[in-house]
Structure 1
């Protein structure tokens, strides 16, 4: 099966930033969440996939098309929405809908009308009068109603109030039910990614920290609280991402939990008091600070 996209050995250099040696694939019909702090390289990666930027090294393939050589063919089936995209303030949303429908033959007018109601936006209103949340919804409507095979979203819920954010997430969940549609979206909100994504990719300072199935992340990572003294060399154990002591309490964050670990810790004088699951935000922060693959 042809992946939705494939990045092989990608590098992109700017005067003050470099995206370095990225190898990444998204299987068709999967949803990947892209996590990283500001400046991590999320937007650069998305721009490479849309053909808005060209890689300095490596190869980019999107929907079976090599970029930038075949970017025109690829863009017919790519939907891209970014928080910094702009609409014509003096024109109505309906004007924008008519424009996009004339450009893209895959425009679904019925679905567009459904999104108007779901997002509670007026098609006859000029977009210059829209709130931030309404502008985000309008951009997503124009993107989603094209029924693209690959959907690329750059921070789709940033700045939205809780109600608008939930409306956007529900619409995205509907899109994800189509198994032939692939999605890559970046977000600062790991809760959104945890809710929607099949796989998670962590970027930090232009490097790929980790990329794996979401459930594997959540099942393998544990916060382990022990009683005892910190033994020498514990932080060097391959499954230990971090370890710190506070008096006789030792907190260990483990990237690869297994049932043998409590016994091994006991042999070092540490008695496990409890083992707790970790959320994606904690996993990401721990991965970045440890500097080792998750």
Structure 2
């Protein structure tokens, strides 16, 4: 399977932060959601994939091009949008659209027009008069209408009101219908990631905590509620991410659910009352706190 990007053993060091030993790849035509708290390394990874930063160690390959050496060729097919990108406030959206169209031959004018209507934007208005949500949608329009093969989005829904957020998510879902296009997006909103992503990657403090397809995460993690006394050595079980007691109730979070787990717990005197699926947010928090490694 062709990879939209692959990074192998990459590291990037700054005075107060380091991205360390990241090995990761995204198959062509898939969507990866990148989840992590502020300072986890999400933006640094995206910058390495765009060629805006060079790794201190390791290799970065994007769309078959080695970065940073072949970044000019790679950037023809990369679309990047970040919440800290700026438009020319005194110019209109139409002016920006004409600028991008003259730079990128793959610009799709008809699709840009559809996005103008979908996002309810006024192309002749100076973008300095846009609200935050309108500016985000304008940036996404300029990115999406280029029809890039790889779309890199840094917190695309941050600060959007509920209606604008849904509009952006629907536009991204449309992009994903093309099996040759791939998307990597970072988000604090695990609900957005759960809705759109095929693969989910957790970053924390510059390290890769876990990365797997969404189905594997949601199927393998379980919250188990038991009656009894918490065994002293249960934290040593590799499939157990966390365990805590609250009186006679014991809550166990398993990272690798197996059908025989309730029977094994019963053998320790724990009576399993129920096991529940975990939300992506709960999985992320538990994985980070338990120090789980990909």
Question: Is the structural similarity TM-score above 0.5?
Answer: yes
> What is residue 12 of structure 1 aligned with on the other side?
12
List aligned pairs for 1:138-177, cutoff 5 A.
138-177=138-177
CA distance in 1 between counterparts of 2:179 and 2:2 reads: 14
CA distance in 2 between counterparts of 1:2 and 1:273 reads: 45
Deviation string 1:37-87 (CA, Å, 9 cap, x unpaired) is 000000000000000000000000000000011000000000000000000
CA distance in 2 between counterparts of 1:17 and 1:101 reads: 37
> What is residue 80 of structure 1 aligned with on the other side?
80
SS in structure 2 at match of 1:252: strand
CA distance in 2 between counterparts of 1:269 and 1:260 reads: 15
SS in structure 1 at match of 2:230: coil
> What is residue 56 of structure 2 aligned with on the other side?
56
SS in structure 2 at match of 1:4: strand
By how many angstroms is 1:130 displaced?
Answer: 0.2
Deviation string 1:116-161 (CA, Å, 9 cap, x unpaired) is 0000001000000000000000000000000000000000000000
Deviation string 1:184-241 (CA, Å, 9 cap, x unpaired) is 0000000000000000000000000000000000000000000000112011101000
SS in structure 2 at match of 1:191: helix
By how many angstroms is 1:101 displaced?
Answer: 0.1
CA distance in 2 between counterparts of 1:168 and 1:3 reads: 25
By how many angstroms is 1:293 displaced?
Answer: 2.2
SS in structure 2 at match of 1:152: strand
By how many angstroms is 1:2 displaced?
Answer: 2.7
Pair 1:113 & 2:126 matched: no
By how many angstroms is 1:292 displaced?
Answer: 1.9
SS in structure 1 at match of 2:138: helix
List aligned pairs for 1:1-294, cutoff 5 A.
1-293=1-293
Normalising by structure 1, we get a TM-score of 0.99
CA distance in 1 between counterparts of 2:259 and 2:215 reads: 18
Deviation string 1:101-123 (CA, Å, 9 cap, x unpaired) is 00000000000000000000010
CA distance in 2 between counterparts of 1:3 and 1:263 reads: 41
SS in structure 2 at match of 1:230: coil
CA distance in 1 between counterparts of 2:181 and 2:99 reads: 23
Segments of structure 2 that go 5 or more residues without pairing to the other structure are none
CA distance in 2 between counterparts of 1:49 and 1:256 reads: 31
CA distance in 1 between counterparts of 2:83 and 2:195 reads: 20
Normalising by structure 2, we get a TM-score of 0.99
CA distance in 2 between counterparts of 1:6 and 1:252 reads: 35
CA distance in 1 between counterparts of 2:236 and 2:292 reads: 11
User: Number of matched residues?
Assistant: 294
Segments of structure 1 that go 5 or more residues without pairing to the other structure are none
SS in structure 1 at match of 2:3: coil
CA distance in 1 between counterparts of 2:293 and 2:139 reads: 35
Deviation string 1:237-293 (CA, Å, 9 cap, x unpaired) is 010000000010000000010110000000000010000000110000000000122
